[in-house]
C-alpha cells in the first residue's frame, strides 16, 4: 500500500480514503465529494484493497436463470423496453408448465442454483399463480433457490388481492420465496421517480416493503440504476437510505449498481437520455459502493449485464467481489439491444481466471458450493 499511500496524500479526497482504510465509512458529504472527484483509479485502489482484505484473490458467481414470467405491465416505466400493455399482440404470461419446463431444462443443462423471477405488473395474476410456481420449484428442484419479485411486484399483488404487502410476503415465503432482488429501487428519490417511473411505488414504499421482507426473515439485494436523470445529490440520498435500512435490519446480502441503457426506451425517444454512462462511471460507482458499504453490506456485484465481461473483470479490481449470475434466458435488458445478456458458467469462470483470481461458485445465499 506504500505507493497507494503516497498517491492518496496528493488527492483532494485523501481524508475520505484514509478514513476508509481505517474502517470509517464515508458519510453523505463525503459521498458527494467522491462522486464529484475524478480520482477514480485511486478510489479503485483503496476499494480494491478493502475487498481483497475481506475476500482475497477470489470472486464468486451463481449459476442461474432469469425467469421473466410475464411482460404484461401497467406501470409504463420510461426506462423499460421490455413491457407490453395488457392485450398487446406480443404480450405473454408463462403457465406453470412453462415455468417447470424452463427450470428443468436449465437444471439439467447447467445445474443452476438459483431462479431469478421477475416480470411486469400484471393485474390479472392473483397470488396463487406465484405460490404455485414457488411451491413447484422448491419441491421439484430443492437445491435451486427462489430469488424473486421486486418490491413493486409485491405491491401489485397486494393491490390485486386487496391485502397488505406484509401479508403477501408472508404467504410467498411460506410458498418458497427465499430472497428478494432489489429491482424497483432505481434511484430512491421521488423527484427522479416522477420522471422515469411515475406509476411505480414511491421510495418510501420500496424501503417499507424491503423492511417488511427483512423482518420476516427474507433477505434481499439492494440495487441502484444510475445514468438516467438523477444528479449526484440524488445518488447520495439513495446510498443514505440503503445504509439506514441496512443498519436497522442487516437484511441486504448484496448491492448492485448498474447503469441505465437508453436504447429502445421512451427516455431516449423523448430526448431525456441519449446514451449510457460508460465504463469509467461504472468503475467509480463500484468503488464508491465498496467504500460506502464496506463492513455493512458484504457483497458488491460486478454489473456485467449492462457493461460486458471486460468491464466486469475491471470491476472485480475496483471493489466488486461477486460476478453475478449467468442469467440464462434474460429478456429485459436484451430488449434494449445493448449486448448479449447470456453467459455460461464457463465464460464467467474463464473471465475470473484471466485476471488471476480463484472462482467460487455460490448458492442463492452466497454460501460457497465449490472452488474452481
79 marked as part of a ligand binding site: yes
Q: Which long-range contacts (CB under 8 A, 24 or more apart) does 268-273 make?
A: 270/78, 272/78, 272/195, 272/228, 272/229, 273/227, 273/228, 273/229
> CA dist 351 to 13, 101, 308, 311, Å?
32, 30, 11, 11
Q: Is 255 annotated as a binding residue?
A: no
Say how far apart CA 135 and CA 138 lie, in whole Å. 5
Task: Tell me whether residue 150 is annotated as binding.
Answer: yes
| Grid cell in block for residue 58 | 477470489
| CA-to-CA dists, residue 108 to 103, 162, 175, 219, 367, angstroms | 9, 39, 23, 27, 22
Task: Mention every residue, 6+ apart, whose C-beta is less than 8 A from residue 241.
Answer: 188, 203, 207
Q: What is the DSSP string of 202-223?
A: PHHHHHHHHHHHHHTT--EEEE
- Count CA atoms within 13 Å of residue 356 on its CB side: 5
Is 73 annotated in a binding site? The answer is: yes
Residues of the binding site for S-adenosyl-L-methionine: 79, 186
Residues of the binding site: 73, 77, 79-80, 150, 186, 303
Residues of the binding site for [4Fe-4S] cluster: 73, 77, 80
Residues of the binding site for (3R)-3-methyl-D-ornithine: 150, 303
Amino acid at each position: 500500500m506504500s505507493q497507494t499511500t503516497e498517491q492518496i496524500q496528493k488527492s483532494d479526497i485523501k481524508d475520505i480514503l484514509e478514513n476508509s482504510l481505517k474502517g470509517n465509512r464515508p458519510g453523505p458529504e463525503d459521498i458527494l465529494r467522491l462522486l464529484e472527484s475524478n480520482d477514480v483509479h485511486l478510489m479503485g485502489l483503496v476499494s480494491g484493497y478493502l475487498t481483497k482484505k475481506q475476500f482475497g484473490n477470489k470472486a464468486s458467481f451463481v449459476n442461474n436463470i432469469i425467469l421473466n414470467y410475464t411482460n404484461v405491465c401497467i406501470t409504463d416505466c420510461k426506462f423499460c423496453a421490455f413491457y407490453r400493455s395488457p392485450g398487446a399482440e406480443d404480450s405473454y404470461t408463462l403457465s406453470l408448465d412453462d415455468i417447470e419446463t424452463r427450470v428443468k431444462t436449465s437444471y439439467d443443462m447447467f445445474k443452476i442454483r438459483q431462479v431469478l423471477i421477475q416480470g411486469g405488473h400484471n393485474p390479472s395474476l392473483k397470488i396463487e399463480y406465484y405460490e404455485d410456481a414457488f411451491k413447484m420449484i422448491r419441491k421439484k428442484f430443492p437445491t435451486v433457490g427462489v430469488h424473486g419479485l421486486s418490491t413493486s411486484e409485491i405491491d401489485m399483488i397486494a393491490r390485486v388481492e386487496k391485502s397488505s404487502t406484509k401479508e403477501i410476503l408472508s404467504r410467498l415465503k411460506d410458498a418458497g420465496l427465499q430472497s428478494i432482488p432489489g429491482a424497483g429501487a432505481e434511484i430512491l428519490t421521488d423527484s427522479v421517480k416522477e420522471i422515469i417511473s411515475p406509476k411505480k411505488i414511491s421510495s418510501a414504499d420500496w424501503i417499507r416493503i424491503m423492511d417488511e421482507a427483512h423482518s420476516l426473515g427474507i433477505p434481499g439485494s439492494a440495487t441502484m440504476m444510475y445514468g438516467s436523470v438523477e444528479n449526484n445529490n440524488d445518488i447520495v440520498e439513495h446510498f443514505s437510505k440503503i445504509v439506514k435500512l441496512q443498519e436497522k435490519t442487516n437484511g441486504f446480502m448484496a448491492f448492485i449498481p448498474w447503469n441505465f441503457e437508453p436504447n429502445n426506451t421512451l427516455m431516449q425517444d423523448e430526448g431525456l437520455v441519449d446514451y449510457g454512462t460508460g465504463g469509467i462511471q461504472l468503475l467509480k460507482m463500484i468503488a464508491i459502493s465498496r467504500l460506502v458499504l464496506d463492513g455493512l453490506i458484504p457483497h458488491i456485484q460486478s454489473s456485467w449485464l449492462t457493461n460486458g465481461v471486460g468491464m466486469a473483470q475491471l470491476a472485480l479490481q475496483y471493489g466488486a467481489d461477486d460476478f453475478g449470475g449467468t442469467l440464462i434466458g434474460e429478456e429485459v435488458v436484451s430488449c434494449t439491444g445493448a449486448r448479449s445478456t447470456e453467459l455460461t458458467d464457463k465464460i464467467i469462470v474463464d473471465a475470473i481466471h484471466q485476471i488471476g483470481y480463484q472462482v467460487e461458485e455460490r448458492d442463492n445465499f452466497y454460501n460457497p458450493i465449490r472452488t474452481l
